[in-house]
A and B are shown apart, each in its own frame.
Chain A
């Protein structure tokens, strides 16, 4: 009985959370972002303030998810994400909420985002206002945008899998993130994410909630120094080595929970 009650409570709050997220995105695009644009003297100031506001809103959203009993979350070595240093923040991608959590911990976050979101009714305004990077643009332009963010001390969030993990399948990393790290060049800050029981995965609907409260864990790991990789090797080999090493690192972690 109590279990059932808890299930329905989580179901209703999950529905509300999804609605809040979409409508909140739309509201920000119609009110706060234009206001920021009016009161910012230049483009960089506007972008910084917009990203900071998104960071705070995502923080409030995560707080809401916690107090309504949808999930619990624990972050290890969170302070490593606090100051933007101009790095690539790389993570595995089990759920829809990964990026929300990460940005809630990062006041200066740039993001590489799938291009479909630019046409989204609710979130299109957010990704445009924040000046996030489209993942389908020409590689040279993408690299330039990354270089700019890094030079300004923003950390760039990227999921090397390119899309959410398909549960039960082997992890497969694309090389794009390693190309960015090698060409900018910039250090890599790996974060490992786990969500138990698995939920909000690729292809799941919002109402397919897990039998019990989600438990999120975030491990902010040791930073990888890009200089150690670059040495005398050609770029193509550096990139393949980084991709292979991180793919193995995450495969080991994810399969052991």
Chain B
């Protein structure tokens, strides 16, 4: 099972590789849309990536309330520990 740190590391990797986010901008409370310059289509791609990583289906409504990097880590962690 994935630990919080592993999820966090993977997420950081995706943000850098796919969305060209500079590493130093990726902090737990960085906001995805405002601070990291993601858009709604990027968010869809990110969810797909996280589904591949966890092997679990992530319902879109699960991600409606997600705002920050830490929110994602928290959500994904919850999902894999269920």
Contact = CB atoms under 8 A, between A and B. Distances in A.
A236 B40 contact: no
Nearest to A174: B39
A235 interface: yes
A237 B18 contact: yes
Contacts of B18: 234, 236-237
Interface string B7-35: 00000000000111000000000000000
A85 interface: no
A139 B20 contact: no
Nearest to A138: B40
A179 B20 contact: no
Contacts, number: 21
Contacts of B45: 234-236
Contact of B20 (A176, A183, A235, A240): A240
Nearest to B19: A236
Contacts of A78: none
A80 interface: no
A164 interface: no
Interface string A157-188: 00000000000000000011001000100000
A237 B40 CA distance: 15
Interface of A: 139, 175-176, 179, 183, 234-237, 239-240
20 contacts: A139-B40, A139-B41, A175-B39, A176-B39, A179-B39, A179-B41, A183-B41, A234-B18, A234-B45, A235-B41, A235-B45, A236-B18, A236-B19, A236-B20, A236-B45, A237-B18, A237-B20, A239-B41, A240-B19, A240-B20
